[in-house]
Amino acid sequence: MTDIPGIKQPELSALPQIGDRMTFVYVEHAVINRRDGAITVTNQDGIIYLPAASISVLILGPGTDVSHRAMELIGDAGVTVIWTGEHGVRYYASGQSLTHRAGLLLEQAKRVNNQRLHLDVVRKMYQLRFPQEDVSTLTLQQLRGREGSRIRNVYRECSKKWNVPWNGREYDPENFEASDTVNKALSMGHTCLYGLAHAVIAALGCSPGLGFVHVGHDCSFVYDIADLYKAEVTIPVAFETAAQNTDDLEKVVRHRVRDELVKRHILERMVHDIQWLLKDTATDDESIRDAVYLWDNRLGTVANGKQYHEAAGEKS
């Protein structure tokens, strides 16, 4: 297989960390290919070159064709790919992790399957929503009630600020046009936020399906993380855009959400917050050296790549 043309697959340590990348790029009615380390986007206006390692999420809208060579590069660079249908309200795939370590994934699994640790993570998620309050003594039911009241107030304040009528969240994936303008804008904006959360989760080596507030869906953790920023980003953007009565709602929402994600450093904050939720402190990505260990029921882990005596368990 060494005769396959193209550049050598990059080492993970050579790729930019997820926090240093762009939030997302949207493409529609174009052909996606590759040239060396760049993704090429070709449409009737010409060709655009996108450095693959600088992108977090590539959103592919209607009328987009992607070559196998392009997907090879996208996967090697750890880019999350979202194929969206009309109106951009569905997403599907992700690239490989940007780390060889499974430390955060193991911590995530441990906390999901331990009721006390699970509740600790849920409380930390709500603590991010109420940073000035102590939520450590509240029950899960009380936390859900507080969050429900908070979001209702956000909707009410945004409706008043931009003079947009609000009759509740309504979204039918089978009948998108049945929603009013602000609900359409919310769905479009949330999709962009979900894509970014999915990209960060995948890049850190976590599982999108092991959620804490949301459970049972293959993107439960994606929804958990995205929900931390909706009141700050997508809800205000949706009401603001709905008030403009624009003819190109999807494009305007997408651009406004991207601007807010950059302005508020949401990508970097997601990295920090996920690490803080699953560990005692948020730390930078660890070195990929010694990423594989051997499990030991007494010692926890022992070094990989060494030969051990059968009886004494000592290396030879």
| pLDDT above 80 for 169 | yes
- pLDDT of res. 235: 98
Q: 37 or 49: whose pLDDT is higher?
A: 49
Q: Which CATH number fits domain 103-278: 1.20.1260.10, 3.40.50.720, 1.20.120.920, 3.20.20.70?
A: 1.20.120.920
* Alpha-carbon distances of 254 from 52, 108, 112, 151, 234, rounded to whole Å: 20, 31, 33, 22, 10
Domains of the chain by residue range: 12-83, 103-278
Contact between residue 35 and residue 49 where contact means Cβ atoms under 8 Å apart? yes
Q: 95 or 195: whose pLDDT is higher?
A: 195
Token pair 């600790």: residue? 120
In angstroms, the first-to-last Cα distance of the chain is 36
The residue type at 256: R
Least confident of 21-35, 236-250, 282-296: 282-296
| pLDDT above 50 for 15 | no
Average pLDDT, the chain: 81
Domains 12-83 and 103-278 share a fold: no
% helix / strand / coil in the chain, to the nearest 5? 45, 15, 40
Report, at the CATH architecture level, how domain 12-83 is classified: Ribosomal Protein L15; Chain: K; domain 2 (3.100)
pLDDT digits (tens, 9 = 90+) for 255-314: 899 899 889 989 889 989 999 999 865 554 443 334 445 555 565 555 554 555 554 444
Check residue 293 and report its DSSP letter: E
Contact between residue 87 and residue 116 where contact means Cβ atoms under 8 Å apart? no
